Amino acid sequence: MFRLIGRHFKEAFQGIFRHFGMAVSCVMAMTFMLLLVSFLTLLIGNVTQITRTLEDDIKVFVKIDSYVEEDKIDTLKGRVEQVSGVKSVEYSDKDQELDRFIEGFGEDGKLFEIFREDNPLSRAFIVEIENGYSISEVSRSIARVDGLKGVDFGGTTTEEFIEVLNSIRKGGYVVVLALTLLAIFLISNTIKITIYNRNREIGIMRQVGASNSYIRQPFVIEGIFLGLIGAIIPVLTSIFGYKALYDTWDGQLISGMLSLQPVNPFAYQVSAFLLLIAVVIGFVGSFISVNKYLRWSR
Amino acid sequence: MVHLQNVYKVYKNGVNALNDVTLDIAEGEFVYVIGDTGSGKSTFIKLLDGEEIPTKGIVEVNGINVGKLRFSRVPLYRRNIGVVFQDYRLLERKTVYENIAFALEVINKPKAEIRQRVREVLEIIDLTEKTKSFPTELSGGQQQRVTIGRAIANNPKLLICDEPTGNLDPERSNEIVELLERINERGTTIIMVTHDMNLVNKYRKRTIKLDYGHIVSDSKEGGYIANV
Ligand SMILES: Nc1ncnc2c1ncn2[C@@H]1O[C@H](COP(=O)(O)OP(=O)(O)OP(=O)(O)O)[C@@H](O)[C@H]1O
Ligand SMILES: [Mg+2]
């Protein structure tokens, strides 16, 4: 068994050395693509984190109509909780609303203490939205519940910003996928050349009945190996480059409002992802190539 | 051993390589297949080893319906048949010994078994003194004997040869046929495609003649008579 695996490894390395120039250019292109993937993955990871922070901060304030009696509040709260996308609902009575109002004005807010006796504010629910739901949509659904006056979610700018982040993230996924497919194509082309170099040998193997998987193995090892070598620089970049960036910005964006993913574990997770994707690319690329060849000459 | 039932082979380019071929070859037979160039001899061989699939009809070898064999099943099937071509297709970087052992290594035979079997094969093909030579150091006839050795390494029940003597002078050709006869005597069924009428007339065997993809004669006593 080990003898066999050893043989396949030996052949895989021989394959690489036999067409060294080709292998080098393949690895270089692979490195470039994985660098892009690394950059995008780092970006996506942080965008996801920022989106989540923003979403966590978003609270929707729902004013309760004054005709709703005190003992109906709980039923009403229950109904708001039922709305899909609502994570939690907190009741805030007139006094608390005034506190909030006064707080909002800072030092000058004290002036409004005069309203404490005859409070003109409405009672309200403070609603937290589940991550991933559109805030405006959930707000609209809440507004349809009877007994509520108005729905107010801290402005549309945050939501628009979240939308932008979501598009960045989705775009990032698409590009990563496209790069992966491109890399698979690249590996499969390189392996194709190795296959043609060993045309005669494969022909004989087929003639005497070597199994398809036996024939495939050295090529798959070579493909995975090329992928992994191509991942070295991107992995180092994502660890040290990200660390440098993180240190430069002190781990924060927009003067401390948003924080970046910490180097540990994030950069290591990205590295693991890069290695995984390199293996997958190497495996799939070479597998496709060998299978095409084997099927072409039955 | 080999059974063809109304076999047709039409290639993608529309060439009708085999037309309604029906034949049976029993276990232990030695059969020549002759015919003009383009008459379908190699196509017949390719149907037997699963390289090509019949367009119509049944190709059965050893009870296995070769035409219906799934892609992943072909390798296992090939372990039971040996194939030899006109060009020797040896690995130049390997010695005679290694070339024969290769056929057993790639089907995961244990090392000890390989060593023993290669010795036996070298005896059969009478090349024990060339064990460590490389193919380029051998004559054409010797190279072809190595190819035959590799083809029989796994003890196949059927050995098919497509013009094995095509590149050899008469003396070497005789040696090859005599070698095939020895292998045949050990129980291996042999199908040999050839253009060499001297051989066909000298070593008389059942002879099947193809013309434009049809069997035009199938003579048990063999020998070639012009204009059959
Ligand atoms: N892969 C292929 N694709 C298309 N046509 C083919 C293919 N192989 C063979 N043919 C055609 O099929 C016919 C029979 O070919 P085949 O190779 O079986 O002849 P043959 O009897 O072996 O000839 P030769 O004595 O020259 O080796 C020929 O007309 C040939 O051109
Ligand atoms: Mg031919």
Residue B205, min C-alpha distance to chain A (Å): 26
- pLDDT > 90 fraction of chain A, expressed in percent and rounded: 32
Please name every residue paired with A288 in a beta bridge, in sequence order, or none if there are none: none
pLDDT in tens, B101-149: 999 999 999 999 999 999 999 999 999 999 999 999 999 999 999 999 9
C-alpha–C-alpha distance, residues A51 and B108, integer Å: 55
Interface ipTM above 0.90: no
- Residue ranges of chain A that CATH labels 3.30.70.3040: 59-153
Residue nearest to atom 31 of ligand 1 (CA): B38
Q: Report the predicted TM-score, pTM, of the whole model to 2 decimal places.
A: 0.76
CATH topology of domain B2-219: Rossmann fold (3.40.50)
Residue B71, min C-alpha distance to chain A (Å): 7
pLDDT of residue A33: 93
pLDDT of residue B228: 44
Structure tokens at A4: 């066999």
pLDDT of residue B227: 45
CB B19 near ligand 1, within 6 Å? no
- Residue A166: pLDDT band (50, 70, 90) is confident
Q: Which of B7, B43, B47, B85 to mutate to test the pocket of ligand 1 (most atoms within 8 A of CB)?
A: B43
pLDDT of residue A98: 81
Q: Which of A2, A198, A201, A208 to mutate to test the interface with B (most CBs of B within 10 A)?
A: A208
pLDDT in tens, B164-214: 999 899 999 999 999 999 999 999 999 999 999 999 999 999 999 999 999
Check CB contact under 8 Å for A298 and B72. no
User: Nearest-5° angle of CA B29, CA B32, CA B36?
Assistant: 160
Of A268, A264, A233, give the one whose Cα is nearest residue A247. Answer: A264
CB B37 near ligand 1, within 6 Å? yes
- Residue A88: pLDDT band (50, 70, 90) is confident
Residue B30, min C-alpha distance to chain A (Å): 21
Check CB contact under 8 Å for A204 and B103. yes
C-alpha–C-alpha distance, residues B178 and B176, integer Å: 5
- Interval between CA B44 and ligand 2 midpoint (Å): 9
Q: Extract long-range pairs of B10-13: CB within 8 Å, 24+ residues apart.
A: B10/B55
pLDDT of residue A2: 59
C-alpha–C-alpha distance, residues A154 and B58, integer Å: 77
> Average pLDDT, stretch A90-112?
77
Residue pair B185/B213 in contact (Cβ under 8 Å)? The answer is no
Flag the least confident range among A71-75, A286-290, B87-91.
Answer: A71-75
Compute CA A97 distance to the chain's CA centroid, rounded to the nearest angstrom.
Answer: 38
Check CB contact under 8 Å for A212 and B78. no
pLDDT of residue A255: 60
State the CB neighbour count (10 A cutoff) for residue B114.
Answer: 19
- Residue B226: pLDDT band (50, 70, 90) is low
- Residue B224: pLDDT band (50, 70, 90) is low
pLDDT of residue B26: 94
Locate the DSSP E strands across chain B. 2-10, 16-25, 30-35, 56-61, 64-65, 81-84, 158-162, 189-193, 206-211, 214-219
Of A279, A283, A248, A251, give the one whose Cα is nearest residue A264. Answer: A251
Locate the DSSP E strands across A206-253. 252-253
> Residues 133-152, chain B: which have Cβ within 8 Å of A?
150-151
Structure tokens at A171: 């775009």
Structure tokens at A264: 């540990």
pLDDT in tens, B8-31: 999 999 899 999 999 999 999 999
Structure tokens at B129: 């003194």
Query: Does the pLDDT value for residue A151 go beyond 80?
Result: no
With a CB cutoff of 8 Å and minimum separation 6, the contacts of A214 are: A205, B106, B107, B108
CB B86 near ligand 1, within 6 Å? no
- Residue A298: pLDDT band (50, 70, 90) is low
C-alpha–C-alpha distance, residues B98 and B84, integer Å: 17
pLDDT in tens, A242-278: 888 888 887 777 666 677 888 888 889 999 999 999 9
Can you tell me whether residue B212 is helix, strand or coil? coil
Compute CA B129 distance to the chain's CA centroid, rounded to the nearest angstrom.
Answer: 25
- How many Cβ pairs closer than 8 A exist between chain A and B? 59
Flag the least confident range among A38-52, A95-109, A159-173, A185-199.
Answer: A95-109
Residue nearest to atom 1 of ligand 1 (CA): B11
Average per-residue pLDDT for chain A: 84
**Residue recorded with tokens 């051998």:** B138
Say if domain A59-153 classifies as CATH 3.30.70.3040. Answer: yes
Residues of A with CB under 8 A from a CB of B: 3-4, 200-201, 203-212, 214-215, 294-295, 297-298
- pLDDT > 70 fraction of chain A, expressed in percent and rounded: 93
> Average pLDDT, stretch A203-232?
92
State the CB neighbour count (10 A cutoff) for residue A21.
Answer: 7
Of B17, B11, B25, give the one whose Cα is nearest residue B59. Answer: B25
Residue B89, min C-alpha distance to chain A (Å): 7
Pairing verdict, β B16-25 and B2-10: antiparallel
